[in-house]
Amino acid sequence: MNRYRFIAAQKAKNSVARMCRVLDAPASGFYAWQRRRPSARAGANAALLEQIRAVDQRSHGTYGAPRVHAELRDRDRRVSRKRVVRPMRSAGLVGRLPRRFRRTTVADQHVRVDDLVQRQFTATALEP
């Protein structure tokens, strides 16, 4: 975790100056980090995550990264599969596996049925 992110998360409990001193980080660097705008890559990742969430919502949470990637390619959004995996993992989006087949009814193996046709299954002689 980034030192500045840690300081931002803990600044309600401790003073920024003390945490910067302990973590050997300049306080001016922390305040500059706080004012800095997100990078172009971070903005692109946020936009990609929104598109991934839309695909995930439309699939009712059943699509994994390969299907989400294919869906994005169908929409002319060119990204690699690993680029789709990272935001999905950080957002906690996972595909669902199909349910396992479970046999619930087992037929009775020893049911005796009456021979209503009166078939004969005994041979009278050997066939040549």
Mean pLDDT computed over 93-108: 83
pLDDT band at 85 (very low <50, low <70, confident <90, very high): very high
Span 21-34, pLDDT tens digits: 999 999 999 999 99
Give the phi and the psi of residue 49 in degrees, each rounded to 5: -60, -35
Q: Which residues contact 17 (CB under 8 A, 6 or more apart)?
A: 27
> φ, ψ for residue 61 (rounded to 5)?
75, 15
Specify the 3-state DSSP secondary structure of 63.
Answer: coil
The tokens describing 118, both together, are 């009166």
Structure tokens at 82: 């690993």
Whole-model pTM? 0.60
| Share above pLDDT 70 across residues of the chain, in percent, rounded to a whole number | 98
Q: pLDDT band at 113, cuts 50/70/90?
A: confident
Instruction: Please state which of the ranges 25-29, 74-78, 121-125 shows the lowest mean pLDDT.
Output: 121-125
